Amino acid sequence: MKNTLSQTIHNAKMELAKVIFPTKPQVKQAFIAVIAVVTFVVLFLALVDFIMSSTVSAILS
């Protein structure tokens, strides 16, 4: 069991050494892209909600 655990830890360290972490500008660019997409989706859903609620209010009154 001890051999298996040490082998697993060794393999995990080897795989982690292969990982290419993003640079600071890449993280910043991805963050800005996420904020832009989320803002667009929020505005779109707010518009759809406003149109739907106005339509339902007009039908019911």
Domain boundaries of the chain, sorted by first residue: 19-60
pLDDT in the model for residue 7: 93
Question: What is the pTM for the complete model shown?
Answer: 0.66
pLDDT digits (tens, 9 = 90+) for 3-37: 798 899 999 999 999 999 999 999 999 999 999 99
Is 2 or 28 the better-scoring residue by pLDDT? 28
Radius of gyration of the chain (CA): 25
Predicted confidence at residue 61, as pLDDT, reads 85
Within 13 Å, how many C-alpha atoms sit on residue 58's CB side?
Answer: 6
Whether residue 54 has pLDDT greater than 70: yes
**Residue pointed to by tokens 């697993």:** 8
Residue 39, pLDDT > 80, answer yes
